[in-house]
Structure 1
Amino acid sequence: MATLSEAYRDNPLLLHHIIPLDFRSARSVPESHVWSPSDGFSSGEFSGEWFSLPVVDITDRDAPELMGRACRSWGAFQLTGHGISGRFMEEVEAEARRLFGLPTEQKLKALRSPGGATGYGAARISPFFQKYMWHEGFTIMGSAEDHARELWPHGYQSFW
């Protein structure tokens, strides 16, 4: 079975599938990012009281099954019972805001290569959809310090 890195290397993305929309400079929604109800979701589909992301307590003995069910039905879940402090989570969120708040030119210095698995870029699943996702991401495998140095040559220490 191939590793994730090997799968990405063997199935490279085109550059326009890697570089995300520059949310700061966009003055209107480009047609490439306009999703209609026929694309699978209506604008009101994920609103209202019924919208509730599945919550899975990792200490529950049925957690693996619950995670699998949540991923199959929702594609995501909230994990609780992990013991990670709220303060640490706030610090992680602050660093994520700092990362994604960088100017686009700075983020592009850490752009994921077409066959790469790590770095800055759009979701790897983007090519499977007719429209682009409203998403930018930063995938880290291995040394977070190496990635942080690409973005913050001076001041990377707090990121990792």
Structure 2
Amino acid sequence: MDSTSSNLLLSSPPFQRKDGAEAPVLYSSFLQKQANLPTEFIWPVGDLAHNQDELKEPLIDLDGVLKGDELATADAAELVRTACLSHGFFQVTNHGVDSGLIHAAHEEIDKIFKLPLDKKLSTRRNPGDVSGYSGAHAHRYSSKLPWKETFSFGYHGDDGSEPLVVDYFKSVLGENFEHTGWVYQRYCEAMKKVSLVIFELLAISLGVDRLHYRKFFRRWKLDNEVQQLSTLQ
């Protein structure tokens, strides 16, 4: 999940990479007094995108799919197939996710990324782990660092009986983040439902059984996927 944040700058307080070297992290005030960016965040010109043309990515309407309309489902699956061949991605609309929940999920992002740096670093992701804070993925790379910070967490939701997202937020961020945990618990549950619908459309577009990917990811515990919150500069 992305949240634009125009006041995020870059800094280089102590942050150890797995190789033991110090790496810079995103910070909101340190570099306001600095003349130059850390070199780790400067990308070669050849790696930058210069095309300003609109992508005009395909838009897939899920309304008929969710209502069980087979003709609408077939049309949506064909649009998915075309999108994957031409763009590699697409957007969905009328997906059934409550707009209030989406708004709440965006609002809660700020509560995490506006925490003091030492608090965020206390929850940082360890090498090999999937959950925790990462400043520009500085624990993984030494140069061409992304201009973002992330907070990742696991989601396990076979039946929704265990609020594992809530428990994780409370354990690493404190009791004050119980509400935030509940927002993302419900958000993950909603995203799972949408994902399974999209998996069906992908299966149909490939000419395999429409439940093929539902069964596959159920077998490999789709619910273990990681939800990642990001702020992009």
Q: Is 1:65 matched up with 2:81?
A: yes
Name whichever structure is richer in helix by fraction. 2
Q: Residue 159 of structure 1 corresponds to which residue in structure 2?
A: 180
Equivalent position of 1:81 in the other structure: 94
Structure with the largest fraction of strand: 2
* Structure 2 spans left out of the alignment, 5+ residues: 1-16, 63-75, 156-163, 182-233
Equivalent-residue separation in structure 1 for 2:22 and 2:41 (angstroms): 12
CA–CA distance in 2 between the matches of 1:14 and 1:53?
40
Task: Give SS of 2:122's match.
Answer: helix
Letter of the structure 1 residue corresponding to residue 39 of structure 2: E
Distance 1:112 1:90, change over 3 A: same
Name the aligned partner's letter for residue 57 of structure 2: P
Q: Which residue of 2 aligns with 1:25?
A: 30
Q: TM-score, normalised by structure 2?
A: 0.48
Q: Secondary structure at the match of 1:121?
A: strand
Partner of 2:18: 14
Which structure has the bigger radius of gyration?
A: 2
Alpha-carbon distance, 1:68 to partner:
4.0
**Post-superposition shift, 1:69?**
4.5
> Which of these residues, 15, 39, 43, is aligned with residue 35 of structure 1?
43
Q: Which has the higher contact order (CA 8 A, sep 6+)?
A: 1
Q: TM-score, normalised by structure 1?
A: 0.67
Q: Distance in 1 between matches of 2:51 and 2:177?
A: 37
> Structure 2 CA distance, aligned partners of 1:17 and 1:79?
41
Equivalent-residue separation in structure 2 for 1:95 and 1:62 (angstroms):
36
Partner of 1:136: 149
Alignment CA distance shift 1:156-1:126 (3 Å): closer
Give 1:147's aligned amino acid. Answer: Y
| Pairwise CA RMSD | 3.4
| Deviation (angstroms), 1:117 | 1.2
Secondary structure of the corresponding residue to residue 90 of structure 1: helix
1:154 maps to a residue whose letter is E
Question: Secondary structure at the residue paired with 2:92?
Answer: strand
Letter in 1 for 2:179: S
Task: Note the C-alpha offset of 1:136.
Answer: 0.7
Unaligned runs of 5+ in 1: 1-12
The answer to whether the 8 Å contact 1:110/1:147 transfers is no
Contact preservation (8 Å) 1:17, 1:126: no
Which residue does 2:227 correspond to in 1? none
87-96 or 77-86: bigger deviation: 77-86
- SS of residue matched to 1:113: coil
Aligned-partner Cα distance in 2 for 1:65–1:93: 30
